[in-house]
Structure 1
């Protein structure tokens, strides 16, 4: 059983703290995605797990064993880098075979292992080529094959699709989950692409400034972002964020958009009358007839087709911009006066000062198994 446990990891470079008291558990066979902006500390964390660098504080446990002071070659870890890191003087075959060669495997085992993984990644026809003769996509697959060939129990993938073309990136998003599941390894995958994180991760750990800001399934991260910054990172087009002051009517809080009430559910008394930010995913907003219940008047400014969806920019009565997303081919206004409806159940409220997500009392009751 291969688990990964990071306990109170600290890594500093001179006066800069790159990893700040970071603790993380990855289950056996789990695909965990480290997601966050450049400079968050993702690659440093992978290199530390691999044993390329050492922590200043904390421990690294692999399969329950403390590996903090164990050399990289004895950790049983496979790693693929975003810049491929191939040996230029070696053929693709020899690059892939290098982990097996280092363990003095037989020629027969090396040949069989390389052919198997190369066939899976569809690069068996370029095994005699050197890196300079390979396309970026072939280089990426060669680096990934090298990481996979020794069937390492722990696999670290550092944004391996970043430098490949859009078509291959899309294909690999579909193929990688199958390949990694067949490998049976515990996987830590780094990316700055939220779609990739959503597609590949059993769980996502959102990193910023050397800390983990939120960890959960893709659905949990998307449907309950811990703060405004995480909400902004997930979604295309980006989430609508509007300053509001919630009020209460009956048991529910509400806000007003274009002087129309949008009910939000049951929030605590401390939220009512306090400056907040409402978050509305573009797909939680739809165009409706003026006579529909809760119809909010807007002015349509522009429309942009984006392959599978159409995104519309509209203005509220106060001139605030709202993005509305609908499936491509769905009818909708292209300019001038229109009306929208907001699904208040899918709205988020964030604290204006801290940016933290404000919990709904009725949802908390459901999670605790109580009657809502």
Structure 2
């Protein structure tokens, strides 16, 4: 494993209240030099507030911010050395798009061809070259957002705070920027906190993801860790489309290992989950962790196909168990599968998740000799 670099941004027990509303509740995070941290969570989780505290635009009630090892107490925003692009654009209304983007460069007394080349390069990448001469009031929201992003990038800051900068961008450009932005940030060696409500964007752009819910960090890890091993049921529900299947179960164990009952049939679990036997749980099954199989195959569970929906690269099928519990099954588009009537499914035990029914915390498998994926 590659050794992580020293933190460029340190957030230590930051708390912020607005009257009786706790927007940030003792949030602690660190971002390594050159790392992109995706700050992900639902609306109202406190993501924008945290960025504004880091930038110095909002004063925290408690806790500390350090950037580059320097304590930011009493350091004004303009001296923090960060580039910012926020949801409200904050463009200078009396300046053209070109001058808005160039403002960090002119502040550093850069001029001439180097300045123009830098602005035009960013404008080309963000596809706003044709509006550089226009004032902000003449721009669409998507163009304003891209102009604000270009301005944040123009000065080549070592620290970037990006607040959902692609929210108002059309789907095609958003997809292209998910590919281009990581390359740009890596080239600039920028330390970035990237706020988004789109889990795909968080997974595509973040070296790590911090999940923020109700002003608290509920999980911090790589995209793979957060998706495959969510810390809580709430985190699991935030990732994936279609959403994760959740079923109330009480695991059991026998000579073959742990299992749950679906349609009164044995659906095996990972060997490491034997300690959850007899405990009220919620079984989490990603739709792609469920597959159609033949009757009589090991672990086959009888279901009824209710509906099938093609979704571009995949086909999603809704099935119900004997007791009427609904399960979504996802398979690659073009692969065979029943469209109606009786069928059988099997669970990939290696990717079945168990959560405590009371606390919602994931029950982690214990180390053991595992069967691996089982039907």
TM-score category (smaller protein): over 0.9
Equivalent residue for 1:287, pick from 292, 302, 306:
292
* 2:268 and 2:347 in contact (8 A); partners too: no
Cα offset, 1:359, TM superposition: 1.1
Tell me how far apart the structure 1 counterparts of residues 295 and 273 of structure 2 sit (CA, whole Å): 32
Is 119-128 or 210-219 further displaced after alignment?
A: 119-128
Name the count of aligned residue pairs: 365
Tell me how far apart the structure 2 counterparts of residues 80 and 194 of structure 1 sit (CA, whole Å): 20
Equivalent residue for 1:154, pick from 155, 159, 167:
159
Deviations 1:220-252 (A, max 9, x none): 000000011100000000001001011111262
CA RMSD of aligned residues (A): 1.8
Equivalent residue for 2:26, pick from 21, 29, 52:
21
* 1:35 and 1:197 in contact (8 A); partners too: yes
Match of 1:49 in 2: 54
Indicate yes or no: 2:85 matched with 1:80.
yes
Equivalent residue for 1:304, pick from 305, 309, 313:
309
Indicate yes or no: 2:121 matched with 1:121.
no
Cα offset, 1:2, TM superposition: 7.0
Equivalent residue for 1:206, pick from 206, 211, 219:
211
Deviations 1:245-284 (A, max 9, x none): 1111126211011121111123466521111110001001
Equivalent residue for 1:105, pick from 110, 115, 120:
110
Indicate yes or no: 2:273 matched with 1:252.
no
Equivalent residue for 2:226, pick from 221, 225, 237:
221
Cα offset, 1:138, TM superposition: 2.7
Tell me how far apart the structure 1 counterparts of residues 253 and 212 of structure 2 sit (CA, whole Å): 35
Tell me how far apart the structure 1 counterparts of residues 156 and 15 of structure 2 sit (CA, whole Å): 30
Tell me how far apart the structure 1 counterparts of residues 123 and 274 of structure 2 sit (CA, whole Å): 60
Match of 2:75 in 1: 70
Tell me how far apart the structure 2 counterparts of residues 70 and 325 of structure 1 sit (CA, whole Å): 51
Residue 276 of structure 2 aligns to a residue whose secondary structure is: coil
* 1:37 and 1:192 in contact (8 A); partners too: yes
- 1:175-214 paired onto structure 2 within 5 Å: 175-214=180-219
Equivalent residue for 2:13, pick from 5, 8, 16:
8
Match of 1:278 in 2: 283
Compute the TM-score of the two structures, normalised by the length of structure 1: 0.94
Residue 269 of structure 2 aligns to a residue whose secondary structure is: strand
